[in-house]
Amino acid sequence: MLDIKVTRTATPKAKPADENHLGFGKIFTDHMFLMDYTEGEGWHDPRIVPYAPLPLDPATVVFHYAQEIFEGMKAYRTADGTVQLFRPDCNANRFQDSADRLCIPRIPADDFVQAVEALVDVDRDWVPYSDGASLYIRPFCFANDVGLGVHASKHYIFCIICSPSGAYYAEGLDPVRIYVEDEYIRAAPGLTGFTKCGGNYAASIKAGELAEEQGFSQVLWLDGVEKKYVEEVGSMNIMFKIDGKIYTAACTGTVLPGVTRRSIIELLRDWGYEVVEGKLAIADVMQAAREGKLEEVFGTGTAAVVSPVKELDWKGEQALIGDGKIGALTQKLYDTLTGIQWGKLPDTKGWTVPVKKMF
Ligand SMILES: *Cc1c(COP(=O)(O)O)cnc(C)c1O
């Protein structure tokens, strides 16, 4: 258990009046969580303080060598006023896996969840009330040594910030066009694809920008060795429904093990679907489309929950999916997961964790 010291702001900000135009990650709550690591001493000084800039020396390691990891999760307000998290233990465990790969000292999973709950409790009034809006939570940790030598840092900062965010789909779940990237790659065996680290994102921005310029909303990443097998879409996992079966890439080091991915696989198996976690060649996806067997394609992730795809473009060939509208199974998954998250459907899985009043 962390002994968290709370210092409340003397100047609370005005809460957004219009919850329909919050966007994503644009405004931040009144407080943030901080904890420091010093070699020899371990993690210390857990505290909640007013949200403010962090003073950092320009020679701080993270600015130069990107030794940094993060998480993304949400707090949801239910109709009876409960504020709840969705499978926070999964984020805590994944944060440890990311930490190990980036040589960052682990934070015990219980401490991670306690810190998230404490901050959400202090900023509880910031959790949006309107349908589909939620409080996006961004825990992150970075190397805080000062100096330009390349080595694992001896000092780290763990920080959590929160941002009230609007419904991802203000205008309904509109299927998107996806560019299958055949030049740039996101991950390769031995690298950091399975971690949530800023470096992965830095390396993926260019492909995303180029695809957007051509009118696509995201890129579909192929494996980094042969550029043959599908892996992820933008910053989401991706699933294909082909001839009644669901296919998705296995989490074998190059794919981020999404909490949404995992939850959807559990739901699909409960519903009697066969889910294949393994290699799926993009050529086979295109062939399935030609044969009329590519029934549904969708990305999965915390921000959007599911993101239906209506078109894939690979080396000049287009695969059109379904009738261009969201597929029935994609819609059912969206309704079920959001139903559980916002407390509209019973949580038979024990996935939701109410945030207790502590402060
Ligand atoms: C965060 C992320 C996902 C989705 O993970 P969730 O836990 O479902 O939000 C998928 N791919 C990448 C690259 C990610 O960073």
Q: Please give the distance, rounded to the nearest whole angstrom, from the Cα atom of residue 317 to the centre of ligand 1.
A: 28
Atom of ligand 1 nearest to the CA of 193: 13
Joined tokens for residue 49: 């303080």
How many C-beta neighbours within 10 Å does residue 100 have?
A: 13
Q: Please give the distance, rounded to the nearest whole angstrom, from the Cα atom of residue 9 to the centre of ligand 1.
A: 32
Joined tokens for residue 222: 């192929």
For residue 297 and ligand 1, the question of a CB distance below 6 A is answered with no
Residues 6+ apart with CB under 8 A from 146: 57, 59, 60, 61
User: In terms of Cα–Cα distance, which of 103, 86, 55 is closest to 264?
Assistant: 86
d(CA 32, CA 14): 16
Whether the CB-CB separation of 68 and 26 falls below 8 Å is answered with no
Element (H, E) at 297: strand 294-301
Phi/psi region, residue 237 (left: phi>0; alpha: psi -120 to 50; beta: rest), is beta
Question: What is residue 252's three-state secondary structure?
Answer: coil
For residue 72 and ligand 1, the question of a CB distance below 6 A is answered with yes
For residue 232 and ligand 1, the question of a CB distance below 6 A is answered with yes
Whether the CB-CB separation of 300 and 236 falls below 8 Å is answered with yes
SS3 content of the chain, % helix, strand, coil (to 5): 25, 30, 45
Q: Please give the distance, rounded to the nearest whole angstrom, from the Cα atom of residue 332 to the centre of ligand 1.
A: 20
CATH topology for the 176-341 domain? D-amino Acid Aminotransferase; Chain A, domain 2 (3.20.10)
Joined tokens for residue 52: 């403010």
Candidate of 95, 302, 306 to mutate for ligand 1, largest count of ligand atoms within 8 Å of Cβ? 302
For residue 302 and ligand 1, the question of a CB distance below 6 A is answered with yes
For residue 236 and ligand 1, the question of a CB distance below 6 A is answered with yes
User: In terms of Cα–Cα distance, which of 235, 257, 250, 251 is closest to 186?
Assistant: 235
For residue 299 and ligand 1, the question of a CB distance below 6 A is answered with no
Bridge partners for 239 per DSSP: 248, 298
Query: What does the domain layout of the chain look like in residue ranges?
Result: 5-167, 176-341
CATH topology for the 5-167 domain? D-amino Acid Aminotransferase; Chain A, domain 1 (3.30.470)
Measured by CA distance, the residue closest to atom 12 of ligand 1 is: 235
Residue 106's identity, in one-letter code, is R
pLDDT at 185: 97
Candidate of 236, 238, 307 to mutate for ligand 1, largest count of ligand atoms within 8 Å of Cβ? 236
pLDDT at 131: 85
Q: Which residue reads 């192929």 in tokens?
A: 222
pLDDT at 18: 86
Phi, psi of 157 (to 5 degrees): -120, 130
Whether the CB-CB separation of 296 and 321 falls below 8 Å is answered with yes
Whether the CB-CB separation of 76 and 167 falls below 8 Å is answered with no
Joined tokens for residue 320: 């059109």
Atom of ligand 1 nearest to the CA of 303: 9
For residue 74 and ligand 1, the question of a CB distance below 6 A is answered with no
Average pLDDT across each block of 10 residues of the chain; the chain has 359 residues. List them in order: 97 90 93 98 98 98 98 97 98 98 98 98 96 95 97 97 87 88 97 98 96 95 98 96 98 98 98 98 97 96 95 96 93 97 96 95
d(CA 155, CA 144): 5
